[in-house]
Amino acid sequence: MSGAWAGWGDGYVTDIAYLPGYYPHQSPLHLNLACLLGGAAGLDLTPEHPISYLELGCGRGFGALALAASNPHWHVTGIDFSPAHIAAARELAAEAAIANATFIEADLSDFAEASRIDTLLEADVVTLHGLWSWVSDAVRSGIVRLIDRKLRPGGIAYVSYNALPGWQQAIGMQRLLHEVGRRSATRSDRQVEAGVEVVRTLIEAGAYQLSDNPLVRTLLSHADHGQIAYLAHEYMNAHWRPCFHADVVRDLAAAKLDWIGSAALLENFSPLMYSEQARTIMARFDDPGVRELIKDMCAVRCLRQDVFVRGARRLTATERDAALGEVMLALRCHPDQFSWEMDVPAGHMAIERPFFGPIVAALSDGPRRVSDLLALPDLPRRDNPGELVGILVGTDQALPIIAPPREPDAIVRRFNRAAAARFVRPDNFNTSMALASSGTGAPLPCPMLDLFVAARMQECERLDPEGWAKLLGRDQPDTEQQRLAAFIQRLIDDRAPLWRRLGALSAAAAP
């Protein structure tokens, strides 16, 4: 048993807490887009419509709580079998006085059969991120039974997992880490250190399976940055097993789930992802499973983020375009910093300026509906709302929102302050987090350090980057604190306007 010396984890690491994080692809607003792009009906996301959101393996609950704080009329439930995770999630909820989130300590292998499941709301959306390929067959089958019982007909499921063949080069490495680790130490952090040390030594010894291997390099880079909790939860679980897409689709079919597409929106645009030759071969097959297998053979894709609907209602092209037209978008960056060119797996993408230029300019004045954007004068064409949404949201430059932003309410302010106080540390400034926001329904994705700076700006009467750097970097040398102060000043100049525009920071805060 790995890191499970307390004896209850069935081989899953239980002696070290997982890291907090926010994954925007789990947001119902984002999943709604993935459904529409895939030609399936999505959710009713009108402002007052209550959504019931269920997250399985929710860890410390940061993502679930960011969604709850941003959507007071939703009900959010997080389930995890780690009492330490559930206690931490409940503490954060209590501190922020979030009343619309519930955290349940339960083992997913048999929760579907527990009597207390009767009180669980039927879910519009179920998500599991970082769970499926890390747990045993018994847990996976419990997850399927739970989804079958509690995801409403027409509801959306998001399942991410380590994918094959993307992970095939790392299967030996994980086995080695796990076997060496569990024979070297009881604690899972020490198991990681022991396993990584043997990997490094074997590379020096010329071990063929470990040399010149990008996934081994990624492992060592995490180890060099001291990300031991991440490594323990990624590699030290007894049942770790990457999966082929078709096998996941088959397992989830038992809960009547239909696969729709990828939550990584650009992956749904084959010309951006695959060469023309590869697309010609895919086109020979009408079985979506075979097409996905060919895609997984061509792509550098280690994590799949699959979106399913429990009973997909297929839309006609007209219905789909009408539903996409209703989507409201907000720009996530300053228009001057909009990236017009980027590398994509199929080569280089230049975002078409004549079409997107007026759209980005309009969005820089505030959020707009897609149908309004397509009605702007001077557009060379008005035909493709899917492309508009897919490119802007898929490149992380726009965010789907429910309604225009408002001044952050008390819950949002308390949540951002409490999360900043709990989580921000000098060694995790780049962790992917989010600021809860009011009005939009969409937490604003951001790096960890932004949480600290936004919370300080909200709470303090005047800007004090030097003082804040001293507070945060109190154990660091002066030069490091000065560097941090300069960085905080840049965040205040560059990002705070966006936090204000998107309902995460009061207009009047620390002017």
Ligand X SMILES: C[S@@+](CC[C@H](N)C(=O)[O-])C[C@H]1O[C@@H](n2cnc3c(N)ncnc32)[C@H](O)[C@@H]1O
Could you identify the residue written with the tokens 């929106």?
265
Q: Within a 13 Å sphere around the CA of 356, how many CA atoms are in the beta-carbon half?
A: 19
Helix (H, G, I), strand (E, B) or coil at 156: strand
Query: Which tokens belong to 246?
Result: 């078709």
Query: What's the min distance (Å) between Cβ of 114 and ligand X?
Result: 12
Determine the Cα angle at 18 with ends 20 and 8, to 5°: 145
Q: Which of residues 263-322 bind ligand X (CB under 6 A)?
A: none
14 close to 6: Cβ distance less than 8 angstroms: yes
Q: Mask of contacts with ligand X, 362-391, x by CB under 6 A?
A: ------------------------------
Percent helix, strand and coil across the chain, each rounded to 5? 50, 15, 35
Query: What's the min distance (Å) between Cβ of 434 and ligand X?
Result: 12
Q: Work out whether 18 is an interface residue with ligand X (CB under 6 A).
A: yes
Cα-based distances in Å from 215 to 160, 165, 180, 209: 18, 12, 18, 11
Q: Work out whether 57 is an interface residue with ligand X (CB under 6 A).
A: yes
Query: What's the min distance (Å) between Cβ of 128 and ligand X?
Result: 7
64 close to 53: Cβ distance less than 8 angstroms: yes
- Nearest to ligand X of 15, 321 (CB atom): 15
Q: Work out whether 448 is an interface residue with ligand X (CB under 6 A).
A: no
Helices (H) and strands (E) in the chain, counts: 21, 14
Candidate segments 126-134, 245-253, 310-318, 351-359, binder of ligand X by CB under 6 A: 126-134
Considering only 30, 129, 145, 456, the residue that binds ligand X (CB under 6 A) is 129
5-34: burial string, b at 16+ Cβ within 10 Å, e else: eeeebbbbbbbbbbbbbbbbbbbbbbbbbb
Considering only 85, 182, 320, 456, the residue that binds ligand X (CB under 6 A) is 85
Q: Work out whether 108 is an interface residue with ligand X (CB under 6 A).
A: yes
Query: What's the min distance (Å) between Cβ of 146 and ligand X?
Result: 10
Can you tell me the distance from the alpha carbon of 464 to that of 283, in angstroms, rounded to the nearest whole number?
A: 59
Candidate segments 77-85, 164-172, 258-266, 375-383, binder of ligand X by CB under 6 A: 77-85
Q: Work out whether 130 is an interface residue with ligand X (CB under 6 A).
A: yes
99 close to 68: Cβ distance less than 8 angstroms: no
Considering only 3, 4, 11, 12, the residue that binds ligand X (CB under 6 A) is 12
Q: Work out whether 109 is an interface residue with ligand X (CB under 6 A).
A: yes
96 close to 414: Cβ distance less than 8 angstroms: yes
Q: Work out whether 233 is an interface residue with ligand X (CB under 6 A).
A: yes
Candidate segments 51-59, 323-331, 398-406, 420-428, binder of ligand X by CB under 6 A: 51-59
Size of the site for ligand X (CB under 6 A): 20
Q: Within a 13 Å sphere around the CA of 112, how many CA atoms are in the beta-carbon half?
A: 18
Long-range CB pairs of 92-95 (<8 Å, 24+ gap) are: 92/60, 92/61, 92/62, 92/65, 92/415, 92/418, 92/419, 92/422, 93/61, 93/65, 93/68, 95/414, 95/418
Q: Work out whether 124 is an interface residue with ligand X (CB under 6 A).
A: no
Candidate segments 52-60, 187-195, 359-367, 449-457, binder of ligand X by CB under 6 A: 52-60
Q: Work out whether 81 is an interface residue with ligand X (CB under 6 A).
A: yes
Query: What's the min distance (Å) between Cβ of 148 and ligand X?
Result: 17
Query: What's the min distance (Å) between Cβ of 237 and ligand X?
Result: 8
- Nearest to ligand X of 8, 285 (CB atom): 8
Q: Which residue is nearest to ligand X (CB)?
A: 57
Query: What's the min distance (Å) between Cβ of 19 and ligand X?
Result: 7
Considering only 42, 68, 80, 263, the residue that binds ligand X (CB under 6 A) is 80
96 close to 89: Cβ distance less than 8 angstroms: no
Query: What's the min distance (Å) between Cβ of 142 and ligand X?
Result: 7
- Nearest to ligand X of 13, 282 (CB atom): 13
- Nearest to ligand X of 138, 322 (CB atom): 138
Q: Work out whether 155 is an interface residue with ligand X (CB under 6 A).
A: no
Query: What's the min distance (Å) between Cβ of 423 and ligand X?
Result: 12
167 close to 245: Cβ distance less than 8 angstroms: no
Could you identify the residue written with the tokens 């030609």?
39
Query: Which tokens belong to 484?
Result: 């941090």
Candidate segments 101-109, 326-334, 347-355, 458-466, binder of ligand X by CB under 6 A: 101-109
Considering only 3, 11, 21, 405, the residue that binds ligand X (CB under 6 A) is 21
**Amino acid making up residue 346:** A
- Name the residues that contact ligand X, by CB under 6 A: 12, 18, 21, 57-59, 80-82, 85, 107-109, 129-131, 134-135, 139, 233
